Chains A and B, each alone.
Chain A
């Protein structure tokens, strides 16, 4: 009897597992399909504003990952990306002294509002020298 119950449970689980896989796969493929049709028509101009804790940041670089295409923010922290972008494109937003952000364009993105945070590093530095060492002598 016990064996029978175990078998049934196992069977139920495996059926459920198969069903789940089918569900996930169908959702995944559906999304993939939706995305390709959407991106074909849905290339769009992306605008945005970049700031830090103190307000808008000027001269922040916005570059399409893996390419040379990009722009920089104006004095109000605003930018308009020079090339239409599609869903799934990745932008690198960087400014020396701030942590670089990677952000991907989502299905409904047309405007990006992003905050950069400081790279909290403590500066130190020893200069090297090829001045020969000279012992301090008392006499």
Chain B
């Protein structure tokens, strides 16, 4: 009986998707400390940097963690570089020769910028993580794909617009997004600001899939229930803070919703941390003004958040879900008279 139970547990363990909780026994503060100690190292000697970051750590996951934290804390997003690339790619999208020429040129200037100024865009982050990991004998891949944010309309894109990593630890592949983990552009100045987000490290594949769609769908790292591209396009907007606050998002599954006046709308997420019900709010924007509401029927049981809300006037609304001051998700509601 015991053996049967053990086998059963083993099967469950093998089936659960690769995620950070597999390493709950490891305290990443040691690895993070090495990343911080190497703050002044540059990219002019990669083997030396990897040696400094990893040689005192015992496990692959900690060695990878030190590399990942170093990249996230020392490489800045380059908004100018991003704009230049988007502009040229759009211009040359029907001229494959010119596009190749631009890509070759852009690769050279991007590497120079990364080496000398430690600034880059997504592929540069993913490339650097892969290079450093391989110097530490850790299998790592660059994953190209599509990403959705509040400012990008993916439906209008012709080519993949984002890159992230998959890393093999203890024989299992895991996902991470060093670009989005490193920080965000300031919402008014557009200047990049370092602000590490731990939610993108070995993220649960189902959560990652809400706004990351890999070109090669095997990199969803999900055995079944792989979302279609349409499901991906129709999903709600997920903000960075969602990754620090949620372990799953269940409802509404679509960004755009149509409901009747007084019809109950259900919002349902699984929370990562303990949250007080009074910290949950919806910001409801009708286009001319926005009001913050704390829906009365908000319950949190075993960190499962359920919010019920009914619109009392017809119209078209953007609805933002907040936990404290963290913006989590956005949906739209067309409310019909009924």
Contacts and interface: CB of A to CB of B under 8 A. Distances in A.
A124 B327 contact: no
Nearest to A67: B51
A124 B111 CA distance: 13
B45 A70 contact: yes
A127 interface: yes
Contacts of A53: none
Interface string B296-322: 000000000000000000001010100
Interface in B40-94: 43-48, 51-52, 77, 79, 81-82, 85, 89
A125 B122 contact: yes
Interface in A41-62: 59, 61
Contacts of B81: 125
Contacts of B142: 121
Interface string B183-207: 0110100000000000000000000
Given A59-B44, A121-B123, A124-B122, A68 B51 contact: yes
Nearest to B211: A128
Contact of B332 (A61, A97, A135): A135
A115 to B, nearest CB: 18
A14 B277 CA distance: 79
B48 A68 contact: yes
Given A119-B127, A134-B285, A129 B48 contact: no
A123 B85 contact: yes
Nearest to A65: B47
Nearest to A129: B151
B187 A129 contact: yes
Contacts of B134: 100
A95 to B, nearest CB: 8
B150 A131 contact: yes
B214 interface: no
A55 to B, nearest CB: 15
B240 interface: yes
Interface centre among A63, A125, A131 (most CB of B within 10 A): A125
Chain A interface bracket (under 10, 10 to 19, 20 to 34, 35 or more)? 20 to 34
Interface stretch (B20-28, B154-162, B221-229): B154-162
Given A68-B51, A125-B85, A126-B162, A63 B45 contact: yes
A84 interface: no
B185 A127 contact: yes
A18 interface: no
B135 A94 contact: yes
Interface in A91-105: 92, 94, 96-97, 100
A113 interface: no
5 contacts: A127-B185, A133-B150, A133-B237, A135-B287, A137-B287
A-B pairs, top 10 by smallest CB distance, nearest first, are A125-B121, A97-B111, A125-B122, A63-B47, A133-B150, A126-B162, A133-B330, A126-B161, A123-B123, A126-B147
Interface of B: 43-48, 51-52, 77, 79, 81-82, 85, 89, 103, 106-108, 110-111, 114-115, 120-124, 127-128, 131, 134-135, 142, 144, 147, 149-152, 159-163, 179-180, 184-185, 187, 237, 239-241, 283, 285, 287, 316, 318, 320, 327, 330, 332
Given A124-B159, A128-B149, A130-B241, 15 more contacts: A61-B45, A61-B47, A68-B48, A68-B51, A96-B115, A97-B107, A97-B108, A100-B46, A120-B107, A123-B85, A127-B179, A128-B180, A128-B184, A132-B318, A137-B316
